[in-house]
Amino acid sequence: MNKTIVFDANFTAGGIFFNEFSSLRAYLLHEDFIELLKSDIEENKILSVNTLSARKRIVSEIIRRYKTMPQGFWEFFQNLNTQETKLALFYVCLKTYPIVLDLHFNTTVRMQKLGEFIDDYKIQMRLDELTTTSEEVASWSASTLKKINTQYRKALKDAELLKDKQLIKPYGVSESFWTYFNANNESWFIEACFNN
């Protein structure tokens, strides 16, 4: 039986949230993490995001990403170097947002294997294709599609998998980083990082 993929447009806020998760690293294993994060909406002592509305949106998406991952991932996350942290947060995006996973494997990974570059047009072509097969994507405004396109490419850049329009393999990553994904039956992420 084929499982229908449900897409949502919540990835329009913030890319991989590297700065935000870096600020939160010391709190991620705390048993009351979500409550601490919710209290920061008003207090703004941890995230230091200027506006209340932006904090609400960011906190909502951080909680969603946090809940998507098993606790063991956040334990693994604690000791990663900067490059590994960026890749791990990209992994979280791939796990949390079906639209990001789709764009990545149905466009970006394919382009990388062919030695091609990636740009807004190639991503837009995939989004246009999805509007013909997904009611959710078809219902999104042109502005939403553009934001998803922009944020997806920003996430690639933030994870240092994209420079200008060129897709690049990660550097400065330990073997133990990749071992985590193999050991947890998530070796698809190694391919997602162009390391196949």
Q: pLDDT, tens digit, for every residue of 74-95?
A: 999 999 999 999 999 999 999 9
Location of structure tokens 């997806």: 152
Q: Which two tokens stand for residue 86?
A: 């960026």
Which residue type is seen at 16? I
Instruction: In whole angstroms, give the CA distance from residue 131 to residue 148.
Output: 13
Nearest to 148 by CA among 5, 9, 7: 9
Contact 41, 52 (CB under 8 A): yes
pLDDT for residue 12? 75
Domain boundaries defined on the chain? 11-192
pLDDT for residue 14? 75
Class (C level, CATH) for 11-192: mainly alpha
What residues of the chain score a pLDDT lower than 70? 1-3
Nearest to 100 by CA among 29, 5, 3, 179: 5
pLDDT for residue 3? 57
pLDDT for residue 119? 96
pTM for the whole structure: 0.95
pLDDT for residue 2? 41
pLDDT for residue 5? 84
Nearest to 120 by CA among 92, 154, 150, 88: 150
